Structure 1
């Protein structure tokens, strides 16, 4: 059961990235370089990204439980991963307001006229992009304490720090209307999600003695 829960983290990470990458590449008027992933929840095919958010959130929730079972002395790491999972589900439930240029023909909604669901989506996104790097940094301490997983502790520090830095860079780019804001967000996602998949794979293949 624990291994199945942990494996859900790797499945969720890969599924999320594959779905938004393929969907974004085949959407008319959508720019992966400029527009955020959440914008894919808009338009006729919006249900696909909404489902992607919710299903991935459920899988990551299972992963958080798996981490708690695999590392019973780790407390805040699984809690932060659960917050991350809930943020993903909420990101799908509360759809963002249209960004500049997408969907084609829609009017951009500035921060002063944001809808309630747009505000809720932004709040959920903030949880997503802060809880994940925080989980990586917290679990880095736990991994460093395990003789067989010290290298994963270093990798977690690097991934957590890089993910946090990229999120700040994305937030600035998005606020200033940069044409590469979408790329920065994708770099943030790939960094954080890759760390999560790595942790899932390592914990599935690690004996309980090595994780102590």
Structure 2
């Protein structure tokens, strides 16, 4: 028996045989739902754990220090685990998206970009940033004059994650327009542009903007994951 509801079909396309509805998403089975649920959990977990550390770690000032510096020092393992777990959850979500989407735009590139975002998070945790701006306490103020190998990999991981996140908002926006969900598509583009502006690593209040950009991007991922589960 066909379980696809009328809410889950795209507008009819005119073909040689006449108008025929195209499915926009597959009804998720239990395994797929668990994978998609990873996308619901990843953002709140990462943001809450990061914010708690930012408010409690001695010498850390979010107005000066980027969140990645929390991976350093005696309790640095907490933020390292936070990065890696969030990245692994994004890998699971990418697989869930691939299994959830039917025909149409974004079926290939959306999972790839979500996976790249996860890869950036895992690399950002596995390869820590170099000490900077006086954190951890006792290290020199200012930025390091030379990067270590792990610091260089970390510096590559951050833009990889941010650019993948911004790109996937546009891929999903195209998908949503194809599904006839134009308002949701517009919001996806607006949030993608906001993340792009906020995550530019120059200008005033850089570390706060980066944190807000990451939180906003994860909020979008959570919202999209919930929308997939509701199908």
Which TM-score applies when normalising by structure 2? 0.82
Give distance in 2, aligned partners of 1:157 and 1:5. Answer: 25
Give distance in 1, aligned partners of 2:62 and 2:133. Answer: 13
C-alpha RMSD of matched pairs (Å): 1.3
Give yes or no for the alignment of 1:105 onto 2:138.
Answer: yes
Per-residue deviation, 1:109: 7.0
Give distance in 1, aligned partners of 2:52 and 2:143. Answer: 28
Give distance in 2, aligned partners of 1:136 and 1:184. Answer: 19
In the alignment, structure 2 segments of 5+ residues that lack a partner are 1-30
Residue 109 of structure 2: which of 68, 76, 82 is its match? 76
Per-residue deviation, 1:111: 5.6
| Cα deviation digits, residues 162-201 of structure 1 (max 9, x gap) | 1111112xx113xxxx5x2221111111111110010001
How many residue pairs get aligned? The number is 198
Give distance in 2, aligned partners of 1:112 and 1:128. Answer: 24
Give distance in 2, aligned partners of 1:93 and 1:108. Answer: 24
Residue 168 of structure 2: which of 135, 149, 160 is its match? 135
Give yes or no for the alignment of 1:162 onto 2:187.
Answer: no
Give yes or no for the alignment of 1:191 onto 2:223.
Answer: no
Residue 59 of structure 1: which of 89, 99, 106 is its match? 89
Structure holding more helix per residue: 1
Residues 174, 185 of structure 2: 8 Å contact kept: yes
SS in 2 for 1:99: coil
Give yes or no for the alignment of 1:201 onto 2:231.
Answer: no
| Cα deviation digits, residues 8-63 of structure 1 (max 9, x gap) | 01101110000000011001100012111100000100000000000110001111
Give distance in 2, aligned partners of 1:51 and 1:90. Answer: 11
Residues 56, 88 of structure 1: 8 Å contact kept: yes
Give distance in 2, aligned partners of 1:68 and 1:154. Answer: 22
SS in 1 for 2:202: helix
Which TM-score applies when normalising by structure 1? 0.89
In the alignment, structure 1 segments of 5+ residues that lack a partner are 207-212
Q: Which has the larger radius of gyration?
A: 2
Match in the other structure for 1:210: none
Q: Which runs of 4+ in 1 moved over 3 A?
A: 108-112
Give distance in 2, aligned partners of 1:3 and 1:135. Answer: 20
